Amino acid sequence: MSKNQVSQDQLKQAAAQAALDYVLKHLEDDSYLGIGTGSTANCFIDLLAQHKGYIKGTVASSEASAQRLRDHGINVLELNNTGGVQIYVDGADEVNPALELIKGGGGALTREKIIAAAADDFVCIADQSKWVDHLGEFAVPVEVIPMARSYVAREIFKLGGEAVYRQGVVTDNGNVILDVQRLHPIAAPKALEEKLNNITGVVTNGLFALRPADLMLLSTPEGVKTLKPSH
């Protein structure tokens, strides 16, 4: 297979391997590891299994990831019982050069944001298809208390977005998700993140701009690039 024919799955696998190398080098013996959600995070979990003896414990951003970790015999703890995580590894739906992200395609945005907030070092892993100059082609997920769904959708309309109800999805927290379209290009991600959070009934939203990633491991056919935020 030539460089041009490297599959997206292979790129995800390479990003996960780079994250594993990073974690094995930097994670301290007495520290905890945060684990994200999605297909790229799953690649990371499967690789981590071979090194579980070195990991004191993990905190997962979803029930699905927690179950996958336990199936591998990896210790999973409540965030409340850890005092915070040293490194958090997770994927993304979009990443810009400031390492601001859109996340939540898998519906786990709230727990992802909590672990990112509680982490010293947020390492994002993704294949190159997630890299964008400006966020917003991917609809921004918003987790909403169920009774507020229509009200929140109307408030989002006033901000210029179109909220689409993710039918049939209930989050691990018992809430619903609105996917907000027509926001591209998001000129001021931090301001929009705050505005969305300020709508009553919103639990959180999938813009990760106030707390962006610290490091990006971006997988390309030429290799995995290690990127820091451009300011």
Cis peptide before 221 (omega within 30 of 0): no
Q: Is 112 a catalytic residue?
A: yes
Selection from 35, 70, 85, 33 nearest residue 55 by Cα = 33
Q: Which stretch binds ligand 5RP (CB under 6 A): 27-35, 50-58, 107-115, 183-191?
A: 107-115
Q: 107, 136, 161, 212: which one contacts ligand 5RP (CB under 6 A)?
A: 107
| Residue 40 CB, nearest approach to ligand 5RP (Å) | 3
Answer yes or no whether residue 106 interacts with ligand 5RP by CB under 6 A.
yes
CA dihedral over 170, 173, 176, 177, signed as positive or negative:
negative
Q: 13, 40, 65, 219: which one contacts ligand 5RP (CB under 6 A)?
A: 40
- Amino acid found at 127: D
Nearer to ligand 5RP, 56 or 210 (CB): 210
Answer yes or no whether residue 108 interacts with ligand 5RP by CB under 6 A.
yes
Contact 212, 119 (CB under 8 A): no
Contact 64, 118 (CB under 8 A): no
Contact 20, 52 (CB under 8 A): no
The backbone torsions φ and ψ at residue 190, rounded to the nearest 5 degrees and listed phi first, read -65, -45
Q: 33, 34, 86, 90: which one contacts ligand 5RP (CB under 6 A)?
A: 90
Nearer to ligand 5RP, 74 or 207 (CB): 207
Answer yes or no whether residue 105 interacts with ligand 5RP by CB under 6 A.
yes
* C-alpha torsion 160→107→10→218, nearest 10: 50
Contact 186, 98 (CB under 8 A): no
Q: 16, 99, 103, 135: which one contacts ligand 5RP (CB under 6 A)?
A: 103
| Residue 53 CB, nearest approach to ligand 5RP (Å) | 26
Answer yes or no whether residue 38 interacts with ligand 5RP by CB under 6 A.
yes
Indicate which residue of 28, 63, 100, 112 is catalytic: 112
Tell me which DSSP letter residue 135 carries.
S
Nearer to ligand 5RP, 7 or 150 (CB): 7
Answer yes or no whether residue 91 interacts with ligand 5RP by CB under 6 A.
yes
Q: 18, 109, 132, 142: which one contacts ligand 5RP (CB under 6 A)?
A: 109
| Cα distance between residue 22 and residue 162, in whole Å | 39
| Cα distance between residue 74 and residue 91, in whole Å | 20
Q: Known catalytic residues?
A: 112
Contact residues for ligand 5RP (CB under 6 A)?
A: 36-40, 90-93, 103-109, 112
